[in-house]
C-alpha cells in the first residue's frame, strides 16, 4: 500500500523546498525551489564547496566592484543547474529581495539569470524566476512573462496579491501557508486545526477562485508548519515542502486523500482587474499580509547579506 507521501504525489505535484542536493536525489520530487535562506544554508556546508568554487572562478577575473553581485547570481544559478540534473521538472531561482520595489532592477537580474542558465545548457522552460509579490514585482512578472520568462510570485499572503498575479499572467504563485498561521497564532493565541488553519483557508480560497474563473496561473502552497496543513491542501496544483516534512509524511500511517479538485469548483464571474491603487489599498487593509510581506523581504535580504560575507571570503582566496 502506498504511504501518504506517495498518495500525495498521486494527486499533487510535489516540489522540494531545499538547496540540499542529496535530499533532492533521495526524495525524487518533480520540481524544486530555492531561496536566499536555503542557498545560505547550503553554502555553509563543506560538501558544496567545490560547486561554489567552480561558480566563483570566472567571477574572480572581473573588476572588484562587479564581483559580489555577480557572485550571488552565479552561485544561485550553479545550485539550480545542479539540482536540475536530478529532477524532471523546473527549478525556481529567486531574484534579489532588495529589488522587491524596483521593476527595472528585477527585470535586469531576471534576464541575467536566464542567460546564465542558458550558458550552462539549461533552457528557460526549466526555470522559474522567483519574485516577491509586491506591486512592482507583479509588474515585472507581467513584462517577463511577455518575453517568455516564466515567473514564480513568492511571499504571497493575500487574495489581492493572488488576483493581481493571475491578471499579470504569472506562471505560478507561492502562497505561504505556515507564515500566515504564525501571524494568526501569535495574534490570537488560538490553536488551529488543519481545517481552520488561516493559511490553509487562504490557499483554498485562491485555488477555488482561480479554477472557478479559468485563471491558468499555478497555485503552489509553500511554507508548511506541519503535515496536517499538507494533507488539507492535497490536490492543489503543486506543494513545495521541506525534506523534514516530506520524510514525516512518508512515515505516517493514516491514508491521504485529495481535498482540492478543480472539477468540484463551481464557475463564478471573474473580478474586475485590480488597479495599482486598489491593490495597495486591499494589501494595506490586510495587516497580516502587509506585515508578513515586509518581514519576508527583510529576512531574505538579511540572508543575502550573510551570503555575501561567505562569498567575499571565498573570492579573496
- Which is nearest to 172 in space by CA: 201, 145, 191? 145
What count of Cα atoms within 13 Å lies in the side-chain half-sphere of residue 98?
7
Exposure string over 188-226, b if 16+ CB within 10 A, otherwise e: eeeebebeebbbbbbbbebbbbbbeeebebbbbbbbbbb
Q: Distance from first CA to last CA of the chain, Å, rounded?
A: 53
User: Which contacts of 265-270 are long-range, i.e. CB under 8 A and separated by 24 or more positions?
Assistant: 265/207, 265/208, 265/211, 265/212, 266/212, 267/212, 267/213, 268/209, 268/212, 268/213, 269/213, 270/213, 270/214
Distance, CA of 295 to CA of 191 (rounded, Å): 23
C-alpha grid cell, residue 297: 523581504
C-alpha grid cell, residue 252: 505516517
Q: In sequence order, which residues have a C-beta less than 8 Å from that of residue 267 and are 6 or more positions away?
A: 212, 213
Catalytic annotation present for 187 = no
Distance, CA of 242 to CA of 24 (rounded, Å): 10
Annotated active-site residue in 28, 60, 85, 130: 130
* Residues with active-site annotation: 130
Amino acid at each position: 500500500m502506498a504511504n501518504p507521501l506517495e498518495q500525495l504525489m498521486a494527486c499533487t505535484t510535489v516540489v522540494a523546498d531545499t538547496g540540499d542536493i542529496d535530499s533532492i536525489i533521495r526524495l525524487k520530487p518533480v520540481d524544486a525551489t530555492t531561496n536566499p535562506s536555503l542557498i545560505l544554508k547550503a553554502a555553509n556546508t563543506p560538501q558544496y564547496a567545490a560547486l561554489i568554487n567552480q561558480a566563483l572562478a570566472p567571477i574572480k577575473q572581473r573588476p572588484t566592484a562587479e564581483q559580489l553581485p555577480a557572485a550571488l547570481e552565479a552561485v544561485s544559478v550553479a545550485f539550480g543547474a545542479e539540482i536540475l540534473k536530478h529532477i524532471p521538472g523546473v527549478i525556481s531561482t529567486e531574484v534579489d529581495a532588495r529589488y522587491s520595489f524596483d521593476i527595472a532592477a528585477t527585470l535586469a537580474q531576471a534576464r541575467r539569470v536566464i542567460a546564465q542558465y542558458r550558458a550552462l545548457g539549461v533552457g528557460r522552460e526549466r526555470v522559474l524566476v522567483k519574485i516577491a509579490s509586491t506591486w512592482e514585482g507583479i509588474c515585472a512578472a507581467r513584462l517577463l512573462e511577455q518575453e517568455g520568462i516564466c515567473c514564480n510570485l513568492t511571499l504571497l499572503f493575500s487574495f489581492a496579491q493572488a488576483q493581481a498575479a493571475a491578471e499579470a499572467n504569472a506562471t505560478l504563485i507561492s502562497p505561504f501557508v505556515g507564515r500566515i498561521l504564525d501571524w494568526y497564532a501569535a495574534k490570537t493565541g488560538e490553536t488551529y486545526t488543519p481545517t481552520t488553519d488561516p493559511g490553509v483557508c487562504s490557499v483554498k480560497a485562491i485555488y477555488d477562485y482561480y479554477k472557478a474563473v479559468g485563471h491558468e496561473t499555478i497555485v503552489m502552497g509553500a511554507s508548511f508548519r506541519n503535515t496536517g496543513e499538507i494533507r488539507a491542501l492535497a490536490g492543489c496544483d503543486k506543494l513545495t515542502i521541506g525534506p523534514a516534512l516530506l520524510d514525516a509524511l512518508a512515515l505516517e500511517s493514516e491514508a491521504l486523500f485529495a481535498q482540492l479538485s478543480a472539477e468540484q469548483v463551481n464557475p463564478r464571474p471573474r473580478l474586475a482587474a485590480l488597479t495599482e491603487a486598489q491593490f495597495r489599498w486591499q494589501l494595506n487593509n490586510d495587516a497580516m499580509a502587509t506585515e508578513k510581506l515586509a518581514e519576508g523581504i527583510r529576512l531574505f535580504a538579511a540572508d543575502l547579506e550573510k551570503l555575501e560575507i561567505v562569498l567575499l571570503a571565498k573570492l579573496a582566496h
